[in-house]
Structure 1
Amino acid sequence: MLFNSYAFIFFFFPIVLVGFFLIGKRNARAAAGFLALASLFFYGWWSVQALPLLLGSICFNYWAGLRLTPGPGRTDTGRKRMLVFALVVNLGVLAVFKYANFFVANVNDGLLAAGYSPISMLHIALPIGISFYTFTQIAFLVDCWQGKVHERSFVHYVLFVTYFPHLIAGPVLHHAQMMPQFANPATYRVDYDKVALGLAIFVFGLAKKLLIGDPMGEYADLMFNGVHNGMTPTMGTAWVGVLAYTLQIYFDFSGYSDMAVGLSLCLGVQLPLNFNSPYKSTNIIEFWRRWHISLSTFLRDYLYVPLGGNRKGPARRYLNLFLTMLLGGLWHGAAWTFVIWGALHGFFLMVNHLWNAKVRRNAKPGRLARLLGWLLTFVCVMIAWVVFRAESMHAATTIYQAMLGLHGTSDSVFSELGAVPYRKNDFFHTLLVGLFICLVMPPTITLQRWVPQLQALAGRPRLAWVFTALMAAFTVYLLGVCVSKLGSYSPFLYFQF
């Protein structure tokens, strides 16, 4: 069930919202159980076959978490062994379902090159959301081992893992962010201000996805799929196609993040900020503090720091950065293109940190330096998106060659792709609007504050009311436009990860 579908908007979410608060008036624990069951139904809508794996993962990790928590009769050595065992089980399950066929395919390449018969592929379907709920629970296990977890309610734990606004595509949640909210009785009492604000944020996210992300995706697919099928793009077509994908993934993921926060806010629960105008970044370090913030935080806390972080000298620090991003790339998908994407960002981060240490030395950059830094960062991100989106390294290489002008130039962008002529104007208008929003406009949410509000009106209630009414009318209009675009199957890009 997609957030951008009739079934979700007009049936599932209204029923869950009303049911949650009606039950919450009588029994908060029962309301939490209802929301957990609704989340399992939401997940099962995608694949009933994947539900047993999710439930098994929840039961195993809850059991392991109980035994990892410091207590009488539990030695540090025994708890550490349990932690290693639980991590091996989680990562092993993830490896089997996500990387087994990737491993077999690479082994087969070696066998065929040596003249041997290939191994049969396992044909294992990738359960949707497995990376997100596995990482969420790994963080929970480590925190249990460190003695940071005190909430022991199984119902709340099930809700923490399965909570439908984040289950499929994040953010990667931390128990300390969610468990206190599920235990707070105020969460189960309807707050109409939060509901109104949450619905507005949801509509803005929906508009990002349907009105900008999806149209950009149509043109990006023309170029990337064309290259995969043997087409050789010219320079203009390659750059515009890559720019289209750069905006598609931005508005697709930003839209999902807004929708998740908005839906959760309607239910009285605040999700952590996961997206903060990353294309405004003036360096790669800043980019990764703004893009997929929860994943970046997870990789820092549970991979980079355990590897040694910056505690073992500059050379080891750069190596740890590179390895962290390499594994972060592999987390996104079982393909060498994702590994190379992670390696590129690891290299970019190494260069950025080296520049800060050896050249800039904490000097505050001027306006021109910030502008050049932004341009370099944006181009580097675009270059990395090529290998992230391409179907193969051969396709990525072809696109890189085209971007360098090795396949000629074209005055009529997309003419070689067979795009409908009158839609080109729509594309470029949407492109300009998208660039304006992601480079000039403030983010929809900043630290749980909705941005479209004027601080100057704080002391003028009448004008503030007029502004609120206008924003409400605009939100309703925007929802109507979005509903008119519903109907076609358009999953979010991060669902595949």
Structure 2
Amino acid sequence: MLFNSSLFLFVFLPIVLGLFYWLLWRNSFRLAIAALTACSLFFYGFWNPAYLPLLLISIVCNYAIGRSLYLQPSRILLSLGIAFNLSLIAYFKYAHFMVSIANEVTGNSWVMHQILLPLGISFFTFQQITWLVDVNKGGSERPRFIDYVLFVSFFPQLIAGPIVHHQEMMPQFKRLQSQNDTLGTSGASGQPGIFSANFIAGNISVGLTILCIGLFKKVIIADSLALYASPIFQAAELGITLTSYEAWLGALAYSLQLYFDFSGYSDMAIGIARLFGITLPMNFNSPYKSRSIIEFWRRWHMTLSRFLRDYLYIPLGGSRTGSSQRYRNLAITMVLGGLWHGAGWTFVVWGALHGTFLIINQCWRARTNDKDERHMASTLGRRLCGHLTKLAAQALTLICIVCAWVVFRAVDIDAAIAQLASMAGLNGIALPVQLASLLQGNPWLISFADISFGKLFVNELIPPLTAISWIAGSVCIVLFMPNTQQIMHRFTPVLEPVSPASGISRHIQWSPSWPWFLVIQLMSLYTLLHLSRVSEFLYFQF
């Protein structure tokens, strides 16, 4: 049951939301929590009932370990709990990969039976590891079992995050109970209490707005860009030599598809949770506006970055050790972060690439501190130079990100290398015939750059000018428009403080007004007309 399916939007979500608020209105908070928990488990089991027992076993075991840690902290028990969680991921996600490596090393031909990968196992496992560590440190209260089950299985963030901490979620449910106890009272006559209409209306209006924006990103933008990205990567997989134009078109289309797919899912998760009065942490903050790889990882999949920093990088020693060890810690963290996304050498190399980028970024920052930058600015005395420097930094960062995404998306290393070679122009610079007229007046440029014109091998599937239009429009949205949290910042869309956008885009701020109502309704209507092409979120694969 996908968030962008009619079954979820028009059947499951209205029923669960109506049941939840009806029970609150009846002054039955515990029943409301129990119902929400049961519906979340149903949501998970709907994909495949075989997934559900594993989730329940993981929850029961982690709760039992966490309860023991709450009574008596123990490094040994904590290590066993972490090992239990990692063993689940190792078996279901990496067993085939490890067997293939063993076959390559030993020359054997061991065959392993097909293993069904449980949905969201990386997310709910990491979430429970954070709870065990926090409990052992004394930083988390012992919850009731039903509350813990809801913490792990809360359906808006169960499948693909964000990875939340226990202390971020459960206090909100307690405040919700306090709100219900204060505003909803049941008299001796047994009449139902009155739950705050303003509270419900506020959450539903804000939640639906964020949900609709995320749905538009996924269905209209991300799924449209997939039409241009997928054929080109599939061609590279088949060994077809790509032209430079085709290679760059595929790389840019996939980079933008992944951006809007993940951004759309994050918005939908935040919006759906808000419908129930729950605010999730920010998970996506305009990462392609970053001017460095360090900044990119502070903006992209923020809760995963937080987990890797707090539970891997810092325990390894973080930046407290010498430079060489700090760079080693960075490399290890990013390689494991890449491997977290999938069992394959492409993910390992992608993580290693970002680890290398981060090390270079750290070295650069160490050599050019703020004092040097201020001196340079005062010496040059020109704002233009500062703006050009920022643009160059942003462009370089984007190029590194896009090239790394090629490795991330490719079926294997050979296909990635072939596509990157085409992007570098090693197979010649070729443009589609539709663009020939734009350069006909400058034959010197065509000759000097060795530009040829020819039809795309996927010409019928990818009209060049249409693809360029989609990519150009998406780039404008990514770089110049405020993100959803900035648009909604006056209504506390996420747990973290959100600064409004700067420049002209700062005027794009949502309010409960008729103009915004019409805009959201038109976006929703256009999106619903395209729900027939339902596709899975990319991050469901990880």
- Asked if 1:9 is matched to 2:9, the reply is yes
- CA deviation map 1:411-441 (0-9, x unaligned): 1189423243784443332212211111011
The amino acid of 2:457's aligned partner reads: L
Aligned to 1:285: 294
Question: Which stretch of structure 1 is more off in the superposition, 484-493 or 165-174?
Answer: 484-493
Greater CA drift, 415-424 or 322-331 = 415-424
Distance 1:229 1:105 in 2: 22
Cα pair distance change 1:467/1:193, threshold 3 Å: closer
Q: Distance in 2 between the 1:119 and 1:272 partners?
A: 44
Match of 2:477 among 437, 444, 466: 437
Q: Is 2:540 aligned against 1:495?
A: yes
What is the one-letter code of the residue matched to 2:85?
A: N
- Alignment CA distance shift 1:467-1:272 (3 Å): closer
Report the equivalent of 1:393.
Answer: 413
TM-score by length of 1: 0.92
Residue equivalent to 2:425? 405
Preserved CA contact (<8 Å) 1:213 1:247:
yes
1:347 aligns with 2:356: yes
Question: In 2, distance between residues paired with 1:205 and 1:141?
Answer: 32
Q: 1:85 aligns with which of 80, 87, 90?
A: 80
1:163 matched residue in structure 2:
154
Q: How many residues align?
A: 480
Write the distance in 1 (CA, Å) between the matches of 2:531 and 2:56: 32
SS at match of 1:306: coil
Tell me the alpha carbon deviations over residues 253-300 of structure 1, each in whole angstroms, 9 at most, x when there is no partner. 000000110111111000000000000000010000000000000000
1:367 aligns to 2:376 (yes or no):
no
Q: Letter of the 1:308 partner, please give it.
A: G
- Structure 2 CA distance for aligned equivalents of residues 133 and 351 of structure 1: 33
Distance 2:510 2:409 in 1: 45
CA shift, 1:240, in A, is 1.2
Contact 1:222 1:417 in 2 (8 A): no
Structure 2 SS opposite 1:416: coil
Structure 1 CA distance for aligned equivalents of residues 254 and 59 of structure 2: 35
**Contact 1:187–1:267 under 8 Å retained in 2:** no
Code of the aligned partner of 1:10? F
Q: Deviations for 1:56-112, whole angstroms, at most 9, x for unmatched residues?
A: 00000011001111x4xx3x5xx1111011111110111000000001112122343
The equivalent residue for 1:460 is: none
Q: 2:513 aligns to what?
A: 468
The whole-number CA distance in structure 2 between the counterparts of 1:429 and 1:419 is 16
User: For the Cα contact (< 8 Å) 2:78–2:136, is it kept in 1?
Assistant: yes
User: How is 1:93-108 mapped onto 2 (pairs within 5 angstroms)?
Assistant: 93-108=88-103
Distance 2:461 2:40 in 1: 44
Other-structure match for 2:140: 149
Aligned counterpart, 2:436: none
8 Å CA contact 1:444, 1:452 repeated in 2: no
Q: Which whole-Å CA distance do the structure 2 matches of 1:126 and 1:282 have between them?
A: 36
User: Please, which moves more after superposition, 185-194 or 332-341?
Assistant: 185-194
Deviations 1:376-429 (A, max 9, x none): 100000010010000000100110110111112221189423243784443332
Question: Which residue of the partner structure matches residue 172 of structure 2?
Answer: 181
| Matching residue of 1:208 | 217
The equivalent of 2:314 in structure 1 is 305
Task: Kindly provide the amino acid, as one letter, of the partner of residue 153 in structure 1.
Answer: R
Give the 3 Å change call, closer, same or farther, for CA 422–279 of structure 1 in structure 2.
Answer: closer
Residue of structure 1 in register with 2:451 after alignment: none
Match of 1:461 in 2: none
User: Which residue of structure 2 lines up, in the alignment, with residue 275 of structure 1?
Assistant: 284
Q: Which residue of 2 aligns with 1:172?
A: 163
- AA aligned to 1:331 is W
Equivalence map 1:220-369=2 (5 Å): 220-361=229-370, 363=373, 366-369=386-389
3-state SS of 2:456 partner: helix
Say whether the 8 Å CA contact 2:244–2:424 is kept in structure 1: yes
Q: Distance in 2 between matches of 1:466 and 1:7?
A: 29
Q: Report if the CA contact (8 A) 1:151-1:179 is conserved.
A: no
Write out per-residue CA displacement over residues 347-400 of structure 1, whole angstroms, 9 at most, x where no aligned residue. 000011111111335535722221111011000000100100000001001101
> 414-423 vs 1-10, which deviates more?
414-423
Q: What's the TM-score once normalised by structure 2's chain length?
A: 0.85
1:54 equivalenced with 2:55 (yes/no): yes
Q: Distance in 2 between matches of 1:195 and 1:162?
A: 21
Counterpart for residue 129 of structure 1: 120
CA distance in 1, matches of 2:423, 2:404: 13
Query: Cα distance 1:11–1:49, how it changes in 2: closer, same or farther (>3 A)?
Result: same
Amino acid at match of 1:382: V
The question of whether the paired residues in 2 share the 8 Å contact of 1:219 and 1:244 is answered with: yes
Q: How many angstroms apart in 2 are the aligned matches of 1:43 and 1:231?
A: 40
Partner of 2:202: 193
Quote the Cα distance in structure 2 between the aligned partners of 1:249 and 1:186.
Answer: 40
* Contact kept in structure 1, 2:338 and 2:348, CA below 8 Å: yes
Which residues of structure 2 form unaligned runs of 5+? 181-194, 378-385, 434-453, 503-508
* Paired AA for residue 229 in structure 1: L
What is the deviation of 1:197?
1.1
User: For 1:122, what is the secondary structure of its paired residue?
Assistant: coil
Q: Is the 8 A contact 2:225 2:253 kept in 1?
A: yes
Question: 2:351 and 2:161 mapped to 1: Cα distance?
Answer: 19
State whether residues 36 and 155 of structure 1, in contact with CA within 8 Å, keep that contact through their aligned partners in structure 2. yes
More deviation, 426-435/264-273: 426-435
Provide the aligned C-alpha RMSD in A: 2.2
The residue that corresponds to 2:19 in the other structure is 19
- Give 3-state SS (helix, strand or coil) of 1:410's partner: strand
User: Is the 2:219–2:534 Cα contact (8 Å) retained in structure 1?
Assistant: no
Q: CA deviation at 1:151?
A: 4.0
2:273–2:280 CA contact under 8 A, matched in 1 = yes
Match of 2:192 in 1: none
CA apart distance, 1:449? 4.0
CA distance in 2, matches of 1:177, 1:368: 40
* Partner in structure 2 of residue 417 of structure 1: 457
Instruction: Write the letter of the residue equivalent to 1:432.
Output: A
Aligned 8 A contact 2:432 2:464 in 1: no
> Secondary structure of 2:202's partner?
helix
Worse-matched range after superposition: 367-376 or 54-63: 367-376
CA distance in 2, matches of 1:490, 1:208: 13
Q: Decide which moves more: 211-220 or 332-341.
A: 211-220
Q: For 1:173, what is the secondary structure of its paired residue?
A: coil
Work out which of the residue numbers 467, 471, 484 in structure 1 matches 2:529.
Answer: 484
The 1-side partners of 2:242 and 2:268 are apart by: 35
Partners of 2:178 and 2:276 lie apart in 1 by 11
Question: Would the aligned equivalents of 1:215 and 1:427 in 2 still touch at CA under 8 Å?
Answer: no
